[in-house]
């Protein structure tokens, strides 16, 4: 069950057999069904999840009941509310399975212990958190500076698997569009 997790980790960071065994001893596996929650708004995020199989999304709901998707995670991706996970404060996000999913989890105490005991894990987490920050910064820049059509084109270019696997209304929410606007953009691009 941990094969994809360790394949990704060792692609970025060499591990000794002892380090692999140490890290694996702190991991757990969880299967969740479609529409089941990994995290609900108002709870403290206690895990970082690696998606072995399936797809999840992170979103918030505004005062008018409208969902705003922050992140998707497909196989080989991590998902969490890092702010809540690192600070212990309640989350403003919900993380829900889009498909039946199999996850590799690391909880907060295990994460802290591994940071102390494994330099490779520490370096890997630094890379992940840095990558998450860069992705967030790009997303903010895209949202404030690109047209809706340009944002959709970027999503298709960067993450074609998302467009193929995630329902259109969730993609529209992620892009800050209505489903109708996204449909018009998709039609216009198909006609080109």
Name the token pair of 130.
Answer: 């840095």
Residue 2 confidence (pLDDT): 84
Are residues 47 and 7 both part of a single domain? yes
pLDDT tens, residue by residue, 51-60: 999 999 999 9
> CB of 48 within 8 A of CB of 112?
no
91: left (phi over 0), alpha (psi -120 to 50) or beta: beta
Same domain, 59 and 125: yes
Residue pLDDT, tens place only, 26-48: 999 999 999 999 999 999 999 99
Give the closest residue to 43 by CA, choosing from 96, 102, 98, 84. 84
Note whether 115 and 173 are same-domain residues: no
Mean pLDDT (the chain, rounded): 93
Domain identity same for 119 and 155? no
* Whether pLDDT at 172 is above 90: yes
CA distance readout (Å), 88 to 71, 73, 75, 142:
20, 22, 27, 29
Which domain covers residue 31, as residue numbers?
Answer: 3-145
The phi, psi pair for 56, rounded to 5°, reads -130, 165
Is the whole model's pTM more than 0.85, yes or no?
A: yes
- Whether 1 shows a pLDDT value over 80: the answer reads no
Domain identity same for 107 and 166: no
* Pair 68, 32 in one domain: yes
**Same domain for 92 and 31:** yes
Judge if 168 and 127 occupy the same domain: no
Specify whether 129 is located in the same domain as 188: no
Cβ-based burial of 5 (10 A; exposed 0-12, middle 13-18, buried ≥19): buried
Q: What is the pLDDT of residue 117?
A: 94
Residues 40 and 121 in one domain: yes
Same domain, 55 and 71: yes
Instruction: Looking at the structure, tell me whether residues 52 and 117 fall in a common domain.
Output: yes
How many domains does the structure of the chain reveal?
2
Q: Tell me the pLDDT tens digit for each residue of 90-140.
A: 999 999 999 999 999 999 999 999 999 999 899 999 998 899 899 889 989
């Amino acid at each position: 069950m941990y094969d994809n997790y360790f394949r990704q980790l060792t692609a970025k960071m060499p591990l000794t057999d002892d380090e692999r065994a140490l890290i694996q001893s702190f991991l757990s596996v969880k299967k969740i069904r479609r529409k089941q929650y990994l995290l609900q708004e108002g709870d403290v995020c206690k895990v970082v999840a690696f998606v072995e199989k399936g797809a999840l999304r992170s979103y918030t709901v505004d005062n008018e009941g409208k969902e705003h998707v922050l992140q998707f995670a497909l196989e080989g991706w991590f998902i969490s509310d890092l702010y809540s996970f690192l600070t212990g404060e309640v989350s403003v996000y919900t993380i829900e399975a889009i498909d039946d999913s199999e996850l590799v989890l690391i909880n907060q105490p295990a994460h802290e212990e591994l940071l102390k005991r494994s330099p490779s894990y520490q370096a890997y987490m630094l890379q992940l958190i840095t990558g998450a920050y860069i992705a967030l910064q790009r997303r903010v820049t895209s949202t404030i500076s690109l047209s809706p059509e340009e944002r959709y084109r970027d999503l298709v270019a960067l993450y074609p698997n998302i467009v193929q696997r995630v329902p259109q209304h969730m993609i529209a929410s992620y892009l800050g569009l209505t489903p109708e606007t996204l449909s018009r953009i998709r039609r216009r691009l198909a006609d080109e």
